[in-house]
Structure 1
Amino acid sequence: MQTIQLQSTHIMTKKLLQKKGAKALLSGSFQSAFYLFERAFWLDTHDLDSRIGLYLADMGIDFGQEAVGIYEFYQSILASEKRSDKQRVQRMILSLIEAFDNKTHNLSKAVQRSKTEAMDSYDAMSYADIKALLKTKDFKEIYSRLPLNTKLVFGEKGDFYEFLSLLVQNDYIEALLHYIDSLPRYDMELIPLIEAANNKLLEKNKAKKRQKVSK
């Protein structure tokens, strides 16, 4: 009986540390957040929530705004995604943090490789064609009519980020996450897109809460 009680306390302690760590991080108290998440991490080194909090608290000491932005985005995704997708989201966030730390990642090779591969596929479409259609049609109309398995080909890195920006502006947050998750490497130019997507998710979650209250 004593062992069971200790295990229960252990779990509660970890959760409490994570909760306090999150509060400290979001308030800009990064040293305190680091200490709290570090304690939670050593209670369970396999817990990715603690690992993410620890890394972002460390990042926040030098890059506070970026660290808070990524953590808010992380929490917003968790609130809107299925629980079964939690580990996928956590791996994506950890990769974003790694990309921020390295600051040297770029998508040039990935873009060129995808261009070569996609051109060999019957269901490929050049983003240049979409840009041409945007002169006379709405993005939502164009994107919603694309076949499910269509591969988009981007000739330049800037085109890819322009496309991701259009996804955010038109509330295709799930599609944005899919594209980000499929990238072999992350680039720092994703940060503004993540912040914009986070604002969209916050608005969506608030709307859901208002609907529940009205019912």
Structure 2
Amino acid sequence: MQTININTLNSPSKKTLQKKGLKNLLQGDFRRAFDLFQNAFWLDTNDLDTKIGLYLSDMGMDFGQEAIGIYEFYQSVLTCEPRANKHKIQKMILSFIDAFDERTHNLSEAMQNSKNAILESYNAINYADIKTMLKTKNFKEVYSGLPFNTKLVFNKKGDFYEFLTLLVKNDYVDILLNYIDALPKVDNELIPLIEAANHKLEEKNKIKKKEKSLS
């Protein structure tokens, strides 16, 4: 037989945490809401209101509008049903959240599989895979080992600039300039790379002229 501490269930600190957590949830600050509901959860792990708030805060970090929508639906059902049905409604909402998580997990997995298939069909490689290889190999070794006409896919702008920086550092100046020429516009962040590339080209031309004069 489980013993329930009535004082813990009615703890003002738990109620305060729930109230603050709900306020942050509805304001869209899901990280803060999660922390507050998590603290309330450890005060009473059986409280279903806290569990709903905790799970919706976690969901909200990726699906904010959906999380708030589920909470508003939860509240609207509570106002229409007798208080005696609250536990049943809470269980229904928790099941709904579980079902949502399962669907989004399957969708995410399907999208990743589709993305991998597209990369393979177009002889492409994600730059994230190159970054993994760079942990054990140098850039020249990795880049020179890529199949001819391999297309690189970048998930973030920062990764693209990192790749361009590695190109100029490793003397792939012509390839760098080809990438930049293909861009619709040149950002200010690219100017130092262009200057570094031009400097390397000037140095290369000086060496060629010197070698030619000595021959």
Please indicate, yes or no, whether the TM-score normalized by the shorter chain is above 0.5: no
| TM-score for the superposition, normalised by structure 1 | 0.44
